[in-house]
Amino acid sequence: MLTVSRGFHSTPMKRMGGGHGHDEPYYIHAKHMYNLDRMKHRGLKMTLAVFSAFSIGVAVPVYAVIFQQKKTASA
């Protein structure tokens, strides 16, 4: 006779590292994360980052207004 057991089954969550919450060789500590003074081509990268963020911040609302006005005009 075959016995069937119904229920929930899950595998245990994998722990990172040795119980410290992170894996040492692959974990980047915050003090080494943002060394902006040692970044190569810092001026160019920061300028591009600021320009990109500004452009997206302007383009999205402008596109939304144009899209909304087209929707309203066609109705």
For residue 20, pLDDT beyond 80 = no
Q: What is the pLDDT of residues 23-55, one digit of tens each?
A: 555 555 666 667 778 888 999 999 999 999 999
| Alpha carbons 62 and 49: distance in angstroms, whole number | 20
- pTM here? 0.51
Q: Element (H or E) spanning 70, and its range? A: helix 42-74
The phi-psi region of residue 19 (left if phi > 0; otherwise alpha if psi is between -120 and 50; otherwise beta) is: left
Instruction: State the Cα–Cα distance between residues 64 and 72, nearest whole angstrom.
Output: 12
Q: Give the number of other Cβ atoms within 10 Å of residue 16's Cβ.
A: 13
Across all residues in the chain, what is the average pLDDT?
79
Cα separation, 65 vs 55, in Å, equals 16
